[in-house]
Amino acid sequence: MQLSPSTKFDNTLGVTRILVDNPFAQASVSLYGGHVLSFCPKSDGRERLWLSKQAVLDGSKAIRGGIPVCWPWFSDSHGQDDVSLPAHGYLRTQTWQLISSQDHHDHTELKLVPAATQGPGFSYEAEVSLVIKIGQTMSIDLHTHNPGPQPFAITCALHTYFAISDIRSVELKGIEGQYKDKTRNWQVSETPAPYRFSEETDRVHHCKSEQVTIHTEGDITKVGSTGHDSLVVWNPWQEKSVTMGDMEDSGYQTMVCVETAVTDGFTLAPGTEHHLIQTIA
Ligand code: BG6
């Protein structure tokens, strides 16, 4: 496979990264996890993604920050009542392979595939790929195809950590309807307006909104979503940050996760496919 002129490999951080530097943006993607670590458009030079200063980058645990890929389940165990199954599935802790890299007139396109799609808790035939387009905006497409004879059901998410200047100044726009609150035993509540943050926040919004904006001290980050049935919003706040070894105690102040997610799940019949896409501007 030939690397495009805008693309190179780098091994200086522990994990192998694909570095993209084209006329529109700089970005980096870890092969471990098929995990986007950074995206910085040249139009404003503002990094859109948050990466923990204490992220573990030796391939021994999922990377804290960037865009973890959650598949074949979102959250704990896909309703299988098996606590040994890894949270958010197992693709974020696999080594992926870059199978193509191409420069186009307005973006660079990378295509990655995971080492294997079967693992504990999921034994169906499935093909997964991630297509990342890096231009003035970035899009990331988690593609699932069922080439086998049996239908299978999955949940999944693009669990993006966005960089913000201060969580207390953030306002989210574009999410409405009801949400389930994990911090309150899944109590169902109406989405607040304005949507601001003052405590641990862990919410599954059953909202198919295709555009959410994150407003923070003059900056606006646009988050587009398609193929989802929900949007998940997460900030661990201080107490939980302190208990997390891969997040600095004050880390919660400069990140917010807005996740393009499938939490109800879908069934893929033989021969069918699904695209979960997030765009970031
Ligand atoms: C969110 C979940 O999507 O991910 C939270 O809603 C969870 O409950 C968070 O704490 C981080 O998960 P992890 O497995 O990366 O620590």
The pLDDT tens digits for 21-62 are: 999 999 999 999 999 999 999 999 999 999 999 999 999 999
Ordered strands of the 35-41 beta sheet? 7-10, 17-21, 25-30, 35-41
Nearest ligand 1 atom to alpha carbon 202 = 6
Predicted local distance difference test score (pLDDT) of residue 15: 95
- For the chain, the C-alpha Rg in angstroms (whole number) is 18
Distance from residue 232's CA to the centre of ligand 1 (Å):
10
Distance from residue 72's CA to the centre of ligand 1 (Å):
15
Judge if the beta carbon of residue 141 lies within 6 A of ligand 1.
Answer: no
Contact 174, 213 (CB under 8 A): yes
How many angstroms separate the CA atoms of 263 and 231, rounded? 9
Judge if the beta carbon of residue 232 lies within 6 A of ligand 1.
Answer: yes
Nearest ligand 1 atom to alpha carbon 88 = 14
Nearest ligand 1 atom to alpha carbon 68 = 15
pLDDT in tens, 177-222: 999 999 999 999 999 999 999 999 999 999 999 999 999 989 999 9
**Is pLDDT at 140 greater than 70 in this prediction?**
yes
159 is catalytic: yes
> What count of other Cβ atoms lies within 10 Å of the Cβ of residue 148?
14
User: Residue 57: what are its φ and ψ, rounded to 5°?
Assistant: -120, 35
**Is pLDDT at 239 greater than 90 in this prediction?**
yes
Residue 79: partners with Cβ closer than 8 Å, 6 or more residues away = none
How many angstroms separate the CA atoms of 231 and 162, rounded? 14
Q: Decide: pTM greater than 0.75.
A: yes
How many angstroms separate the CA atoms of 55 and 15, rounded? 11
> What count of other Cβ atoms lies within 10 Å of the Cβ of residue 200?
16
